[in-house]
Structure 1
Amino acid sequence: MVKVSGRTRDTAHLLAHLDYINRHGGLALEGRDGTLLDTRDSIRDVADDWGAMAMADSRRRATTPVSVSVVLSMPAGTSAFAVRDAARDFAASSYPQFDYVFALHTDAPHPHVHLAIRALGEHGERLNPKKADLAAWREAFAQALRDRGVEAEATPRRARGVLDRNESVSARRLRERHGKGQAAESSRRASDIEPGLETVVRPGATETLARQRLIRRGYLLLALQLSRSESPQDRGLGAELLDFVAQLPKPDWHVRSMGLGQSGRRALKRSERPPGRER
C-alpha cells in the first residue's frame, strides 16, 4: 500500500508530525542523504528549515502545504528490513528533487514506513500527487520490494474484485462516539430497504458496479482467447483465469444503515465536507 496520509500547513504542524513518526524520540529519522536524525534539536532544525523555505515562497497560499505525508505498508509477516530498504530505494527514485525523512514502524502487525516529504522542490517545483502519481508510486514500491525477494504486486482494488472501500476515519470515529452508531452492512438492494430505516447508499455505487462488470467481461474475453490457443500453457492459464473470476465477490448494491440520531447525522455531514471548507 502507498497512501498519502496528510499534509502539514506550518512549522508547528510539521514538527508535531515529525515527533509522531519518530515516536517522540524513540526512533531515529533517516534523511535523503542517509543521515540519521536522532535528537530533538536535529528534528526541530528540519522543521524550521522546511517551514522557512515554504513561507519564503512568493507563490504560497494559506492552504499550500509545507510537507506531504506518505505511508508505505505491507501485510503482516513481511520482512521489516526489506520494507525499510525498499522504502529507501523508492523514495530516492520517486522524489529526487525533494527533501524527505522517513522512519520504519514495527509496533503494528504490518510493517510500515512513514515518509515526510518537503512539498517545495529544489528548483521551485511543488509536490502535488494525483491519482496517476499514486499508481506510479505503488508500482515503484512493489518493484523495489520484488528486487529484495518480497512478492508484491500493485494491482488496483477494482482489478481484484474489491468493491467496498475501507471505512473512513471520520465514519469510524462517529460510530465509536455515538452509542447507537453501530454501522451494520447489508447486502440488500436499494429497492428492498424497509420503510423508515435511515440509510446511506454508498456514493458512486452505480458507477462502481458498471466498472466491475466491464472488468469481469474483459477477464472472460481474455480467458476465451487463451482457451483457443494451441499452447497447453495458455489454455491452462485461461482455466485459472476463469477460476479467478468465479471467486470474485459478486457485485451488488451495498447499503449501510446508520442509527446515529440527530447529533450523529449533523456530525456526519460535517465530516463529509470538502477539505478546507471549515477553515
Structure 2
Amino acid sequence: MVRPKVFVDEYLLNWGDKLFYPPVRKIKKLAVRPLSWTKVLLPNKSSEIRAQIARTTKKSPEVMVKITSNKNAGKGMTAIRNHLDYISRNSKVTLEDHEGRTLTSRADLKDLKEDWSHDTPEVSQRREAINVMFSMKKGTPTDEVKEAVREYLTEEFGGKHEYVFALHTDTDNPHVHAVIKIAPIRKKDKRLNPRKKDLQRWREGFAENLRKLGIDANATPRKTRGVVQQPLHQYQIHKLARDDGASQNAMPFKSRSLPLSEGKKLLATNQSQETQAWANIASVLASSQARSDRVMAKDIIAFMSSQPIRHINEANISKNAQRAPKNHEKLIGDMPALPRTK
C-alpha cells in the first residue's frame, strides 16, 4: 500500500529524532504529535531530516569537535599560558578574541595573559578554561573553516564567556584551536560545564555554518554511521604526522579486534536503536508516494550494507527492500504499528 506524504513525514519525525538527535534532545515515547502541531512544524522538520539522511547516506564529510583530553589542561593560568603559546605558535599565528580583536604580536599575547590572570589562579584543582579543536577534512578552504568557527563561537559563547581562537594549517586537515574561559563574563551566569550532548550540539552548529558557506559537511553520531571504534587522541595524530608523515585525510582509529560473539553482543547493546531506526525509515520511505523518497530508501539500504559493522540482516528490513520501490508494499509488514493519538 502506498502511503501519503503526511504519514511518511510523521514517521520521519519520530525515527529521525531517534537516529540523529538522541544525545541532544530527549523524545517521549510518542510517535505522532497532535495534528495541530504537525501542521505547523512537520514540513520544515521532515525536510531537515530528509536532508540529514541524504548527507549521511552519501557520506558527506564529518566535522570533528573535541575537547583536549589532557588531565591538566586549563587548570590555572600556568597551563593556559602554555596552551596559548602553543596555538599562537609563540605569536607567529594570529589569534582572535571574543570581541573580534586580532592579536598578532608578542605584546598582544602578553596583554591577553595578564588580563586573564586577574581572575584566574596560577594553579587550580579545577579547569579554568577548556581547549576545543574544530577540524574539517583535507582540502576544505581554510578561510571558510575559520569563518564557520568564528560564527559558531559568537552564537554559542558571545557575551557569556571570553575566548580566543587560532587557525592551524600545518596538517592536512585545516583546524581551529579555541581556548574558552569556564568562568562566565557575568557573575549571575553559570560556569561552563560541557557534556556529551553539548559536544554534539557544537558539532551540529559548526557543520551548519560550513553548509551556509557552501561547504558540504555533516555531524552525525558515530553509532548512527555504524562506527564503534574510538578516534585517536590529538597528540597521537600529531605523533603519526611527525614520525611517519601519515596523512590525516581520514581520521585514524584505534585498532579493535573483537571475537564474533563479542561483536554480536556489541551490536545488540550499542546499535539496536540505530538499526531499528534505519530499518523503519527505509521501510516507510519505500512505501511513499514520492519517487524521491523511494530512491532514498534504496540509498539507505546501500548505506547500511557498507557500514563498518554490517548489520543489514539484523534489521527488520525485508530482503524485498533491496528491490524497492517495486515491492515496497511488502516492507510495511515489518514496520511496527503507528501509535494512536488522543
TM over 0.5: yes
1:68 deviates by 0.9
Please state whether the residue corresponding to 2:214 is helix, strand or coil. coil
Percent identical among aligned pairs is: 31
Asked if residue 107 in structure 1 is aligned to residue 161 in structure 2, the reply is no
Residue 39 of structure 1 aligns with which residue?
105
Residue 224 of structure 2 aligns with which residue?
159
Preserved CA contact (<8 Å) 1:68 1:118: yes
Preserved CA contact (<8 Å) 1:50 1:66: no
Preserved CA contact (<8 Å) 1:158 1:212: yes
Residue 82 of structure 2 aligns with which residue?
16
Residue 241 of structure 1 aligns with which residue?
300
Please state whether the residue corresponding to 1:53 is helix, strand or coil. coil
Gaps of 5+ in 2: 1-63, 241-253, 312-342
Preserved CA contact (<8 Å) 1:15 1:47: yes
Q: How does 1:132-143 map to 2 (within 5 A)?
A: 132-143=197-208
Structure 2: distance between partners of 1:8 and 1:51: 12
**Residue 286 of structure 2 is aligned with which of 227, 246, 270?**
227
**Residue 86 of structure 1 is aligned with which of 148, 172, 177?**
148
In 2 relative to 1, CA 41–209 (structure 1 residues): closer, same or farther, beyond 3 Å?
Answer: farther
1:220 deviates by 1.5
Structure 1: distance between partners of 2:236 and 2:116: 33
Residue 45 of structure 2 aligns with which residue?
none
Residue 121 of structure 1 aligns with which residue?
184
Preserved CA contact (<8 Å) 1:72 1:113: yes
Preserved CA contact (<8 Å) 2:75 2:126: yes
RMSD (Å) for aligned C-alpha atoms: 2.9
Asked if residue 28 in structure 1 is aligned to residue 97 in structure 2, the reply is no
Residue 195 of structure 2 aligns with which residue?
130
**Residue 189 of structure 1 is aligned with which of 259, 272, 290?**
259
Residue 63 of structure 1 aligns with which residue?
125
Preserved CA contact (<8 Å) 1:15 1:43: no
1:98 deviates by 0.6
Gaps of 5+ in 1: 176-183, 192-200, 253-279
Q: Deviations over 1:90-138 (max 9, x none)?
A: 1111112111111100011110000011111111331111111111111
Structure 2: distance between partners of 1:172 and 1:143: 26
In 2 relative to 1, CA 30–208 (structure 1 residues): closer, same or farther, beyond 3 Å?
Answer: farther
1:156 deviates by 1.0
Say which structure, 1 or 2, has more relative contact order (CA 8 Å, 6+ apart): 2
Please state whether the residue corresponding to 1:156 is helix, strand or coil. coil
1:212 deviates by 1.7
Q: Deviations over 1:186-223 (max 9, x none)?
A: 645177xxxxxxxxx99xx9456522233122211221
Preserved CA contact (<8 Å) 1:25 1:40: yes
In 2 relative to 1, CA 62–41 (structure 1 residues): closer, same or farther, beyond 3 Å?
Answer: same
Instruction: Return the structure number with greater strand share.
Output: 1
Structure 1: distance between partners of 2:266 and 2:259: 15
What is the total number of aligned residue pairs between the two structures?
A: 229
Structure 2: distance between partners of 1:123 and 1:206: 48
Preserved CA contact (<8 Å) 1:51 1:66: no
Worse-superposed segment, 72-81 or 233-242 = 233-242
Structure 1: distance between partners of 2:256 and 2:221: 24
Preserved CA contact (<8 Å) 2:229 2:256: no
Structure 1: distance between partners of 2:269 and 2:99: 47
Residue 9 of structure 2 aligns with which residue?
none
1:185 deviates by 4.5
Structure 2: distance between partners of 1:190 and 1:169: 30
Residue 216 of structure 1 aligns with which residue?
275
1:39 deviates by 2.0
